[in-house]
Amino acid sequence: MTTTRFAPSPTGRLHVGNIRTALHNWMLARRDGGRFLLRIDDTDAERSREEYVDAIRQDLAWLGMEPDGEARQSERLALYDAAFDRLKAAGRVYPAYETAQELELKRKILLGRGKPPIYDRAALDLTDEQRAAKDAEGVAPHWRFKLDHDEPIVWEDGIRGTQKFDAAQLSDPVIRRADGSWLYMLPSAVDDLDMGVTDVLRGEDHVSNTAVQIQMFTALLAAQHEAQQMPRFAHEALLVGAEGKLSKRLGSLGCDAFRERGLEPAALVALLARLGTSQPVEPIADRRVLVEGFDLSTFSRAPARFDDAELDRLNAAIVHRLDYDDVAARLPEGMDKAGWHAIRPNISTIGEAAEWWRLVTGPVAEIAFEADDRGYLAVAAQGLEWGDDPWASLTGRLKEQTGRKGKALFLPLRQALTGMDHGPDMGELLPLIGETETRARLERAAASPED
Ligand code: GLU
């Protein structure tokens, strides 16, 4: 069964980049009828915050991507300890004692010689006596995973195609700090195996992590007997701003900002589902359509450009298609289906419905008309008849009675009835305003003081 996971570190709010990653994992799982798991990567106790865990859950719920299960790394430490012990017994982890300053110096020297700053494995050369001496001094080691330089690292990436890495060109990663706490790499691999994750889909900033983790997966699988499998990997190109650059703003742009702007989660989903793929971004509110079409082979390797203006346009287009039943609870009081249909084409967010609804409920702005328009509006009020289509009969009659046409015919009526020069279709609006109120507004306008 396809199992994907979204694995945020709760050190901040979700931003548009990781919302996109979450969405694609959700879509992949839904398309295959599989499972989408939320894994809170909270091994960094100092930087992880409970408020962010809650915010992540809320954001996923708002986006309609509730996970099928949730796990927290802070509750799974025993599993990592066990894996660590197995890897240690297999000679794949080793203690190292360098201080951060020493490591930094080594890096600088290598870089100064024009060489890649790969860890020199000096810790592997320590004798038992030297290690014992460090321990006696009270210097606790940190722990590195020993890459196998002879084992080729190759995988078929779902987006990037065949990927090859030379283990000798990579540093043995530190997996555990001197205080016993975990870095990201090993717990993630342990969890992916334990949780039966079949597909790891994440940003391309993780490509070199994958190279290292593939050796971890292999080592973990070799050291145990359970039927577990290495997941497939796919790395998507990163999201950039509309101007084409990695953008700081995107790194802090999250669901709270989208909510405040009154945007529909469906708009965000429609945009992020296809942004950076060869499929057209369209105002598709039905996620089943998006999910069915989800296909990693359509993902481009070029960065995907996130454009706020495109999101706004998409939102408006989606709002224009929303059914009354889907929005009723969020509409101003008294606004019925006919009201929604009249006003829907004029709004770009549902919040704007209230402004337009005031044209129906009144009071509307008073406009000072010229004398001949006042006369015209008096004629409009006097002969007002109410039928199936009061606007058509009103304008039809006035055209005949006054010889007016076009703007001269329509604009004074719209102004008198709504206090505005533009707005929703009058034919739809008039039945909502009602006969009594229509007459009252026309009469008031006819009697309005001179301009
Ligand atoms: N916690 C990691 C991150 O947020 C997870 C990466 C992954 O998907 O493995 O970058």
Closest residue (by CA) to atom 7 of ligand 1?
A: 7
Taking the C-alpha atoms of residue 97 and residue 139, their distance in angstroms, rounded to an integer, is 7
**Is the CB of residue 7 below 6 angstroms from any atom belonging to ligand 1?**
yes
Sign of the dihedral through C-alpha 80, 86, 89, 91? negative
The two structure tokens encoding residue 275: 């942004």
123 three-class SS? helix
* Contact (CB, 8 A) for 318 and 270: yes
Residue 232, strand partner residues: 199
Question: What is the mean pLDDT of the segment spanning 288-309?
Answer: 96
Closest residue (by CA) to atom 4 of ligand 1?
A: 8
pLDDT at 247: 80
Describe the crossing of helices 390-402 and 371-382 by its angle, rounded to 10 degrees: 130
The two structure tokens encoding residue 18: 């990781």
393 three-class SS? helix
The two structure tokens encoding residue 356: 């337009």
Which tens digits make up the pLDDT trace of 24-71? 999 999 999 999 999 999 999 999 999 999 999 999 999 999 999 999
pLDDT at 226: 72
**Is the CB of residue 188 below 6 angstroms from any atom belonging to ligand 1?**
yes
Among left, alpha and beta (phi > 0; psi -120 to 50; other), residue 39 is beta
**Is the CB of residue 25 below 6 angstroms from any atom belonging to ligand 1?**
no
Closest residue (by CA) to atom 3 of ligand 1?
A: 8
Ligand 1 centroid from CA 7, angstroms: 5
* Contact (CB, 8 A) for 270 and 311: no
> What value does the mean pLDDT of the chain take?
96
Q: Per-residue pLDDT for 451 more than 60? A: no
**Which atom of ligand 1 is found nearest the CA of 203?**
8
Question: What is the mean pLDDT of the segment spanning 407-411?
Answer: 98
pTM for this structure?
Answer: 0.91
pLDDT at 448: 83
* Contact (CB, 8 A) for 290 and 57: no
Half-sphere exposure (Cβ direction) of 35: Cα atoms closer than 13 Å: 13
pLDDT band at 308 (very low <50, low <70, confident <90, very high): very high
Q: Which fold has domain 362-446?
A: Arc Repressor Mutant, subunit A (1.10.10)
Which tens digits make up the pLDDT trace of 312-351? 999 999 999 999 999 999 999 999 999 999 999 999 999 9
Taking the C-alpha atoms of residue 319 and residue 350, their distance in angstroms, rounded to an integer, is 7
Nearest alpha-carbon partner for 419 in 372, 375, 355: 355
Exposed / middle / buried, residue 34 (Cβ in 10 Å: 0-12, 13-18, 19+)? middle
Chain centroid to Cα 69, Å, comes to 19
* Percent of the residues in the chain that have a pLDDT greater than 90, as a whole number: 95
* Contact (CB, 8 A) for 346 and 423: yes
Which tens digits make up the pLDDT trace of 213-244? 999 999 999 977 678 999 999 999 999 998 88
**Which atom of ligand 1 is found nearest the CA of 188?**
9
The two structure tokens encoding residue 52: 């962010």
Which tens digits make up the pLDDT trace of 155-181? 999 999 999 999 999 999 999 999 999
Domain extents in the chain: 331-356, 362-446
Q: Per-residue pLDDT for 412 more than 90? A: yes
Taking the C-alpha atoms of residue 119 and residue 215, their distance in angstroms, rounded to an integer, is 17
* Percent of the residues in the chain that have a pLDDT greater than 70, as a whole number: 99
DSSP at 277: B
Ligand 1 centroid from CA 142, angstroms: 22
What are the CA-CA distances from residue 289 to residues 162, 276, 317 (Å)?
A: 30, 18, 16
**Is the CB of residue 304 below 6 angstroms from any atom belonging to ligand 1?**
no
pLDDT at 225: 66
Taking the C-alpha atoms of residue 310 and residue 316, their distance in angstroms, rounded to an integer, is 10
365 C-beta neighbours (distance < 10 Å), count: 11
Question: What is the mean pLDDT of the segment spanning 247-271?
Answer: 93
Bridge pairing between strands 239-241 and 3-6: unpaired
**Is the CB of residue 202 below 6 angstroms from any atom belonging to ligand 1?**
yes
Question: What is the mean pLDDT of the segment spanning 389-402?
Answer: 97
Closest residue (by CA) to atom 10 of ligand 1?
A: 8
Ligand 1 centroid from CA 420, angstroms: 52
* Contact (CB, 8 A) for 398 and 380: yes
Q: What is the chain's length? A: 451
Taking the C-alpha atoms of residue 271 and residue 311, their distance in angstroms, rounded to an integer, is 7
pLDDT band at 252 (very low <50, low <70, confident <90, very high): confident
Ligand 1 centroid from CA 300, angstroms: 21
Q: What single string gives the DSSP state of each residue in 38-68?
A: EEE----TTT--HHHHHHHHHHHHHTT---S
The three-point CA angle 250-252-255 to 5° equals 95
